Chains A and B, each alone.
Chain A
Amino acid sequence: MSLEHDDPNFQREVRKRSIKSFAWFFLAIALVVAGWLWLMSQPDEFGANRALRRVLRFNETVNAAVKSPTHLAKTFDKSQAVKNVKVNGPYGLSDGFDSTSWKLRVVNKGWGADSVIYVTLDDIKKLPRTDVVFDFKCIEGWSQITWWSGVKLSDFMKQYNLGSRNGRTPNLDDVPSLTNYIGMVTPDSGYYVGIDMKSALSPQTILCYAMNGNPLPENQGAPLRLIIPNKYGVKHIKRIGTMRFVDRRPRDYWFERGYDYDCAL
C-alpha cells in the first residue's frame, strides 16, 4: 500500500494524466496573461484605459435603461442636516470674481448664433423655492446630510423656455424632444460638467443659492451652484457661469480625468 510498492504502470498513468491536465492549466494561464498584456497595452481615452472605458460606457447604458425617474434620493428632516458642511474642490473658483455683477448666461440649441440670455440672481429667486435635504455623496466615498435651497432646474427651464431642440417652448414631459445634455461652466472656464437631461429634470435637481437656510457661502459656489442628488458631488458644479442646452455631450472636468461620465447614483 505504500509508495514503494506501487505498480510502475499506475505511476506512469498518474504522470501522463497530470502532464496533460497541467498543460491545459498552463495554457489557460498563458491566455489570461495574454489578455492582461492586451488590456494593459490599450491606450488611454480621457484618462482611463480604453477597454475599461468601453465597459464604463456599457454600465452607463445599462443604468440609463433601468433608471427610473421615480427613484429619488432619500430625503431627511432639516434638523438632521450637518452644520459644518465639508468644502471640497476649489476648481473653477479663481480669485477676482465679482459676484455683484454676476448674471447667469444661458444658451439654447436652436437659437440664433449670437442669441444668449442673462438671468440675474434676483430673477431666479422670484421662482418657487425648493428645499432639498439629502445625503450628499462624494465620489471619494464620504457622505453628509446637507440642506440646500434653490429653484428646480425644471421650473427654471419652464420659466425661460429652455431645453427644446428648436429653441421654442419645450415640452418637459417629452424627454426625447429635449436636448440630450446641459453643459455648465464656471465663469473662469476652470470647471465644467455635463448633465444628461433625464437627471436634470429630476424634481430634486436644483439651481441652488442657499445652504442651511443662509445665502450660499463663496467656497460652496455662491452665487449659484447645481445640486443634483442622483449624482456624485463632482457634478454639483459651483459658481455656474454659463449654461448650455446641447445635444452633443459637453466637456466634463472629471470625465477627462478618468472617471465615468454619468457619475449616477
Chain B
Amino acid sequence: MKRIEPKHPLAIRWFHWVNFPVLAVMIWSGTLIYWAYDPYMIKLGSAVLFKFYPTSFYNALGIPHKLANGMAWHFAFMWLFAVNGFAYVVYTVVSGEWRYLLPNKHSFKEAWQVLLHDLFFSRKPLPERKFNGAQQIAYTAVVVMGIGSLVTGLAIYKPTQLHWITALCGGYETARAIHFVLTIGYVLFFLVHIMQVVRAGWNNFRAMVTGWEVVNVKPKSETP
C-alpha cells in the first residue's frame, strides 16, 4: 500500500526556496567584493596549493572591477537573507520542527553509517526518518553557518559602530576570513546537497515543492 503523507510544512518550503536565489545573489556579489582584496590561499609549507581565486576564474566569470556593484547588491540583499533566515529559525523553534532537525547523541554515530552507506562501503539500509543523523548535522550546521555569516558580516560592515561584534569575531581581518570560509562552506554544502537530492530521487524532491511524499505502509498499520 502507498499513502500520501505530509513531510515539509508550507513555511519551511517558502524559507527554503526564498533562500536559494537570495544566497546565490549574496555569494555572487560577495565574490565581486572579495576580488578587490583577495589574499586567501591554501598553502602547504611555502607551496601554494590553491589561490582564491585564479585570474582565469575571475576573467571567465567577468568578476574584475565590480566592487561597487557587488557592494550595492550585497547590502541590499543582506536584508532578505537576514529576514528569511530569522523567520526560518523562529518558525522552526515555535512549530517544534526543530525536533526533527537538531542532532542528538546518536546522530554522529548514525551520520558515520550514512556516510559509509553513501560511499558504497556499507549496505545497511538508511534509517527511515524525516532526517537521518547526517542530515540533522548538516542542516543544523548550515543554520549555524548562516548565523555566523550574519555576525561576521556585521563585524566587517560596521566595525566601528558594532566594534564589540568585531572584537567577538577576533578582529576585522579574522571576521573577513571567517565570512569567506563560511561562503566556501555554503558552496560545498550546495554541491553535496544537490548530489544527495539527485540520489534520493523524485519523491524526495517533490516533497520540497508539494509538502508531501508517497510512503509505503503495511496494510495493517493503515487502520486509523
Contacts and interface: CB of A to CB of B under 8 A. Distances in A.
Interface of A: 1, 6, 10, 13-14, 17-18, 21-22, 25, 28, 32, 47-49, 51-53, 55-56, 59, 63, 66-68, 71-74, 135, 137-143, 229-230, 254, 257-260, 264-265
B185 to A, nearest CB: 19
A265 B4 contact: no
Interface in B33-78: 33-34, 36-37, 39, 67-69, 71-73, 75-76
B75 A21 contact: no
Bin chain B's interface residue count.
20 to 34
A48 to B, nearest CB: 5
B155 to A, nearest CB: 11
B159 A55 contact: no
A22 B210 contact: yes
Contacts, number: 94
B interface: dominant SS: helix
A71 B161 contact: yes
A interface: dominant SS: mixed
Given A18-B210, A135-B172, A141-B176, 11 more contacts: A17-B210, A18-B206, A22-B209, A47-B68, A68-B161, A71-B163, A138-B37, A139-B36, A141-B36, A229-B160, A265-B158
A1 B3 CA distance: 11
Nearest to B173: A143
Contact of B2 (A10, A28, A63, A71): A10
B37 A140 contact: yes
Contact of B34 (A22, A51, A141): A141
Contacts of A71: 160-161, 163
A7 B72 CA distance: 55
B75 A55 contact: yes
